Structure 1
């Protein structure tokens, strides 16, 4: 049994939380890495050295805010360009545009990048994986990235971990591996699956949740005597929908199961509401079928464009859910973005989903002010 004096020595040497990577400290309550000494001693007994934040997140699904900014996270990643390593760039295939890291080349330097599309299990099974990989590579190239390879994984079920590990071994050439990505793409879940596969231990090591920004500092897992897998904190994208929702409403945003696309025959001047979180206006074009890709439990409601503003005012937070009335009070007002399509196009609402529309239409997407709305070449 470890003594308090021995723990004090470990704290002086820089003891880190195994869940989020933050330096453990026992004196400044409410600050990064805090845990009471009594809880820390008990944690050593159970081989679970966690800060109070990770303990409460893991055991009670409670999130405690931390005083870190986007710049703090970027400074932690700046060191990668000076290393000789393989960079594994994890993206959420359901939220590709929301997963892009602006200026990634500054963090990467001359290091090779292995692009990983995570959460592939939520896409419709009818979509061939070769097409997803080709589409991801095209989108990455348009963003200025030239990955050495593209892999697809499911951090949730771990089915693709052996193939991913083979690719990592092929491209790392004995070097350490940095895992990077924005918040909520499933980096830590993926690394937990790697640890489980390699060690046979079914227990999660790194703290994971639906809440953005769970990993707060770099976490190192040894690969061999000379190299590590390093889980880095997620870059915060303030324009993702998840940052505007309460914990109760988050479950309607992040799909946990295979998407079931919903197709609607729309006439011009019709509107589709995604709960009270977003809105799609079909303004001009022929009667046509549009397909919506959102979390299966998110309620979609069709109405006339002319009545849409009044309908939202009357029913947001009640008939149009989520969010609830409580969550609606904290949601910024919906902002309109208009587009004209020249090819089969996805209208994307970052972190929520997308709607596929044909060419030669005029459409508008509405999302809370600050959430990105954009178009792209149709994924499916």
Structure 2
């Protein structure tokens, strides 16, 4: 049950219609050169005139944060804040360059059938140890395919697809120049062409993968007594919970629910993690999971390591060594990243850590194509005790570090200090010498790989990284890799607040749109809307009657930002489609967000509907995908995380994504 405190009160009278001023040249066009040059104007009048000049050339736009950032129309106060922000940005960039001098280029999606897209070295096959070269020194850009050679039974150590050289656009392909004549033991040490390009050249190759193959791979565990760890992207649920996952796993399947990317959620009150767990459990029950089968719910960050040690402890305590463990979930929720972390933790056998290659990870959906696995370390009593001793010895240091980070966040407002982080240690180390399979040496190195027929692994239990399933309500496959990188926030989500009046439409870049239709029972002037998304996605407000015209005019420009590209790219963009049903929201609280509307992969909006009022909205996304109403909201106290309203604007100043209030 959501506990709401009356810490922030806005009486209904504050919403009643009155003369609210906001910048729109369609409603106020009294600015002239005389008043602009009049030095006797008050500061408020001067800022009002600047606000009108900012939108003089954009009659269809009522508000745009991109246009608000135009330096020539900033007030002196805004200009000082802007310069200060730029100085901090330069210092931050300089520190990053000092730590990491080489910055990788953004990923590019390349069609393997297009020979003109040669944005990588021609001698890329020389990266492979077993490539012997051609006599004439010439070969196709992606190598030679040979249908006469049978595929192998050896999976790629990066994505799990079986290695072959038959077709360039199938998972697991490597050129015949490398594949031909290789033994199974040699193939176990190399990755397919797609994983190689992702790891070395940051390029995602387009390959043919049918959705049926995903379901077929996962359905193998339906009749097996095993644990399923269902991973959910907390920034994109319920769109990251595949609707048929319960049927595929079986109704009696024991399940661990893991909410990933918790470090990116804003902290609106001290008990926010328990509230997120409650919301996640409610959503899993709505998706068809039985509460008796949900054995544990964890909140983790596969990027910062938060919650991983607690997850391993619960796996040892609840599941122990009863059967295999499968990491399942939709694409791009962090399965492969979690798999790599568990591979280097107490959950994996120490001697097998260096013999199992890490899974390929990147922002592009579907990097894992078949199952990867590692042997689970049996949690005997003595091992559990040794692990408990290590965690206990580290506990005091952990508490001290967390206290210092919290104190720093409160004093300086540093977002990184408020972010959830965790350390992952190793209690057990390998007791025998093994050859490092990835060591670089000029001499001949023996080929070392995990031998599953070894007597030590004959009765072993395994942890599997399964391929992801593309949710039908996601639209990430419509975006390029560069656009996907802008979609994911790099730090904690900073809520952005705006005022929306009936008859207005809010655009979240070119990816989503929200129309405020009307409000019944109470005659209000505006509703406060909180946007939770990456700051790379700009906000634009216009009249609903001008929304279609404005979208067509500014699509592909900096005002809407995404999607971007040439005319051919924009011609393939499907545009926005509205949901069939009008969303009716009733105000439940006076001091918190009533409900949230999920806009698929773009983010979500929180609506603070006045108490006892009934407001109607309509949401738009590509193909009308991923439009859901979430109640109770994930971040109910977003009011605490935003600043004051900007004068002569529909928007509010940015605040901090964290607070330490109860």
Give the structure-2-normalised TM-score: 0.53
Q: Is 1:335 the equivalent of 2:577?
A: yes
Alignment match, 1:8: none
Structure 1 pair 27/69, CA: closer, same or farther in 2 (3 Å)? closer
Structure 1 pair 28/372, CA: closer, same or farther in 2 (3 Å)? same
Which ranges of structure 1 fall in alignment gaps of 5 or more residues?
Answer: 5-10
Q: Is 1:17 the equivalent of 2:183?
A: no
Assess if the C-alpha contact under 8 Å between 2:258 and 2:298 holds in 1. yes
Q: Which has the larger radius of gyration?
A: 2
Could you give the per-residue CA deviations for residues 22-60 of structure 1, whole angstroms, max 9, x where no partner exists? Answer: 01113433322111355567xx99995210011111211
Q: Which has the higher contact order (CA 8 A, sep 6+)?
A: 2
Task: Tell me which protein shows more strand as a share of its residues.
Answer: 1
Structure 1 pair 12/322, CA: closer, same or farther in 2 (3 Å)? closer
Could you give the per-residue CA deviations for residues 281-328 of structure 1, whole angstroms, max 9, x where no partner exists? Answer: 122233121100011211111222222221111111112111114343
Distance, in Å, in 1 between the alignment partners of 2:509 and 2:357 is 34
Alignment match, 2:214: 73
Structure 1 pair 39/259, CA: closer, same or farther in 2 (3 Å)? farther
Query: In the TM superposition, what is the alpha-carbon distance from 1:15 to its structure 2 partner?
Result: 1.4
Q: Is 1:197 the equivalent of 2:325?
A: no
Q: Is 1:99 the equivalent of 2:339?
A: no
SS in 2 for 1:58: helix
Give the structure-1-normalised TM-score: 0.90
Deviates more, 1:340-349 or 1:213-222: 340-349
Query: In the TM superposition, what is the alpha-carbon distance from 1:151 to its structure 2 partner?
Result: 0.3
Structure 1 pair 21/47, CA: closer, same or farther in 2 (3 Å)? closer
Assess if the C-alpha contact under 8 Å between 2:195 and 2:360 holds in 1. yes
* Aligned pairs (5 A) from 1:216-231: 216-224=369-377, 225=457, 226-231=460-465
Q: Is 1:181 the equivalent of 2:329?
A: yes
Structure 1 pair 302/34, CA: closer, same or farther in 2 (3 Å)? same
Alignment match, 1:7: none
Query: In the TM superposition, what is the alpha-carbon distance from 1:269 to its structure 2 partner?
Result: 1.4
Alignment match, 1:247: 481
SS in 1 for 2:173: coil
Distance, in Å, in 2 between the alignment partners of 1:156 and 1:3 is 34
Distance, in Å, in 1 between the alignment partners of 2:178 and 2:312 is 36
Distance, in Å, in 2 between the alignment partners of 1:366 and 1:230 is 38
Assess if the C-alpha contact under 8 Å between 2:154 and 2:188 holds in 1. no
2:600 paired residue among 350, 360, 364: 350
1:260 paired residue among 494, 503, 515: 494
SS in 2 for 1:209: coil
Q: Is 1:113 the equivalent of 2:255?
A: yes
Distance, in Å, in 2 between the alignment partners of 1:30 and 1:271 is 42
Could you give the per-residue CA deviations for residues 127-148 of structure 1, whole angstroms, max 9, x where no partner exists? Answer: 5211111111111112221211
Structure 1 pair 12/27, CA: closer, same or farther in 2 (3 Å)? closer
Matched residues, number: 371
Assess if the C-alpha contact under 8 Å between 1:78 and 1:106 holds in 2. no
Structure 1 pair 159/166, CA: closer, same or farther in 2 (3 Å)? same
* Aligned pairs (5 A) from 1:1-380: 14-36=153-175, 39=178, 49-109=190-250, 110-126=252-268, 128-145=272-289, 146=291, 147-174=294-321, 175-198=323-346, 205-224=358-377, 225=457, 226-285=460-519, 286=524, 287-318=526-557, 319-326=559-566, 327-337=569-579, 338-342=582-586, 343=588, 344-359=594-609, 360-369=614-623, 371-377=625-631, 378-380=633-635
Distance, in Å, in 1 between the alignment partners of 2:308 and 2:176 is 37
Question: Cα RMSD over matched residues?
Answer: 2.5
Distance, in Å, in 1 between the alignment partners of 2:302 and 2:187 is 26
SS in 2 for 1:94: coil
Distance, in Å, in 1 between the alignment partners of 2:304 and 2:189 is 24
